[in-house]
Amino acid sequence: MELAAAKLKFIEAWGKLGSEWGINRTMAQVHALLLISPEALTTEEIMENLSISRGNANMTLRDLIGWGLIEKQHKAGERKEYFFADKDVWNIARQVAKERKKRELEPVLKILTELSTVEGDEKDPEFKTFKKSVNDINKLANNVDKTLETMLKAEENWFWSSVLKVFK
Amino acid sequence: MELAAAKLKFIEAWGKLGSEWGINRTMAQVHALLLISPEALTTEEIMENLSISRGNANMTLRDLIGWGLIEKQHKAGERKEYFFADKDVWNIARQVAKERKKRELEPVLKILTELSTVEGDEKDPEFKTFKKSVNDINKLANNVDKTLETMLKAEENWFWSSVLKVFK
DNA sequence: ATAAAGTTTCAATAAGTTTTGAAAGTTTAA
DNA sequence: TTAAACTTTCAAAACTTATTGAAACTTTAT
């Protein structure tokens, strides 16, 4: 396969994956483009490469910075802003896990904790079923939360050697 | 908190979580409703409870069956179909992991494998950066795939005791 | 064979999300 | 201080996805 074709395919695949995981397509595509660029790129270059508008490029770059996936770079003697992506896949995974934990898992944990205080008649099947489901989900969510917490602190090698020891 | 209020809140929260994870809101809400129901429910009851149309209820129930999250039940002497959810949270997590692995991870692995066959000049920074990123992502994706594979085969107790030993 | 009960389909429509582009805002150099 | 270079904002438009509801279909009891 040709490099140019491979690049297009990569950007497309990363965009699709992103949209399946609740990250908007353009955001994932800009990230993909920067991931495979040896040099930092300007807003203009990104707009041109992906055929997107200035407004869209600007918002998307801001969001990616918010997710901690890309950074701004200032080149000496230049006014333009350049953007580049952290190329370390392990850092990317951690960063995404961190953001989703904060944005999604934590609010759910809060609600589950609240819901598990529900009061009712232990003989009522409606009540019993509700309570059991909520408690079970609560336990699972807490386990996931702890696991992510540990992952966020972990060094890559430590992490994979531990996981692979268990899942060999 | 009152049971009725708690139920509503649970259904709403589960729906929101679902939509953040690429599962449509109604599907997650129907699942939530069945999760906290001690008895299997009919299409009518689900429609009424969530104020959704017959068409929507039907499609959603079919999708949930496709994901392996709910099942049909036939009651003796009755024509209507009843639906109930597997209440075991561990089974739910495995089932969701299984479907997403199949629908999302596997196609991506296929493309990554293809992309890693790209040919080019090792001295070209464009080529080197592309190849390194694709290879790194490929490795991570394969690790995730193996981990999920093991998880799918695991028994609950074995799994959690192992995980908690590592991430304590 | 018929009609009643129940289920499925799908084109039209509604709701939600993303993108555009032009205008407003900001920064820098001279 | 001015104007050129660059960045940000946001309302309107385009696009995508979810939902409705009525018609078609299937099954069962008589």
CA gap B138, B125 in Å, rounded: 20
Per-residue pLDDT, averaged over B113-133, amounts to: 95
**What is the interface size between A and B, counted as CB pairs within 8 Å?**
145
CB B28 within 8 A of CB B19: yes
Query: pLDDT class for B154, splitting at 50, 70, 90?
Result: confident
Residue B62: how many CB atoms within 10 A of its CB? 11
| A166 reaches B (C-beta below 8 A) | yes
**Distance, angstroms, CA B11 to C1' D23?**
32
The reported pLDDT for the residue numbered B69 is: 95
Query: Is pLDDT at B168 greater than 70 in this prediction?
Result: no
Chain B residue numbers with beta carbons less than 8 Å from the beta carbon of A9 are 111, 114-115
Closest-CA distance of chain B to residue A127, Å: 7
Which of B32 and B164 is assigned the larger pLDDT?
B32
Which of A164 and B54 is assigned the larger pLDDT?
B54
pLDDT in tens, A77-111: 888 999 999 999 999 999 999 999 998 899 999 99
The reported pLDDT for the residue numbered B167 is: 52
Query: Is pLDDT at B83 greater than 90 in this prediction?
Result: yes
Per-residue pLDDT, averaged over B131-137, amounts to: 96
Angle between helices A125-153 and B156-166 (to 10 degrees): 40
Cβ–Cβ below 8 Å for B20 and A104: yes
Helix (H, G, I), strand (E, B) or coil at A2: coil
Chain A residue numbers with beta carbons less than 8 Å from the beta carbon of B91 are none
Which of A12 and A1 is assigned the larger pLDDT?
A12
Query: Is pLDDT at B25 greater than 50 in this prediction?
Result: yes
The reported pLDDT for the residue numbered A168 is: 47
Structure tokens of B30? 């129907």
**Distance, angstroms, CA B2 to C1' C19?**
44
**Distance, angstroms, CA B166 to C1' D13?**
52
Question: Lowest mean pLDDT: which of A72-76, A111-115, B76-80, B111-115?
Answer: B76-80
Chain B residue numbers with beta carbons less than 8 Å from the beta carbon of A143 are 160, 163-164
User: Above pLDDT 90, what percent of chain A?
Assistant: 74
Nearest by Cα to B108 from A141, A1, A12: A12
Best of A2, A3, A168 to substitute, by most chain B Cβ atoms within 10 angstroms, is A3
Query: Is pLDDT at A67 greater than 80 in this prediction?
Result: yes
Chain A residue numbers with beta carbons less than 8 Å from the beta carbon of B115 are 1, 6, 9-10, 13
In the predicted model, what is the mean pLDDT of chain A? 90
What Cα–Cα distance (Å) separates residue A29 from each residue in A10, A16, A35, B10, B112? 9, 9, 10, 35, 15
pLDDT in tens, B40-49: 999 999 999 9
Cβ–Cβ below 8 Å for A139 and B3: no
Query: Is pLDDT at A49 greater than 70 in this prediction?
Result: yes
User: Above pLDDT 90, what percent of chain B?
Assistant: 74
Cβ–Cβ below 8 Å for B3 and A118: yes
**Distance, angstroms, CA A3 to C1' D22?**
53
Helices and strands in chain A: count of H runs, count of E runs: 8, 3
Residue A138: how many CB atoms within 10 A of its CB? 18
| B87 reaches A (C-beta below 8 A) | yes
Chain B residue numbers with beta carbons less than 8 Å from the beta carbon of A90 are 140
CA gap B92, B13 in Å, rounded: 17
Architecture field, domain B3-85: Orthogonal Bundle (1.10)
By Cβ distance, the residue of A13, A36, A89 closest to B129 is A36
Query: pLDDT class for A155, splitting at 50, 70, 90?
Result: confident
Chain D positions with an atom below 7 A of a protein C-beta are: 5-11, 17-23, 28-29
So where are chain B's domains? 3-85, 89-166
Per-residue pLDDT, averaged over A63-81, amounts to: 90
Cβ–Cβ below 8 Å for A166 and B163: yes
Residues 6+ apart with CB under 8 A from A62: none
| B132 reaches A (C-beta below 8 A) | yes
Per-residue pLDDT, averaged over A34-63, amounts to: 96
CA gap A71, A64 in Å, rounded: 8
Residues 6+ apart with CB under 8 A from B49: B33, B41
Cβ–Cβ below 8 Å for B13 and A130: no
CA gap A96, B19 in Å, rounded: 17
Query: pLDDT class for A165, splitting at 50, 70, 90?
Result: low
Query: pLDDT class for A147, splitting at 50, 70, 90?
Result: confident
The reported pLDDT for the residue numbered A76 is: 81
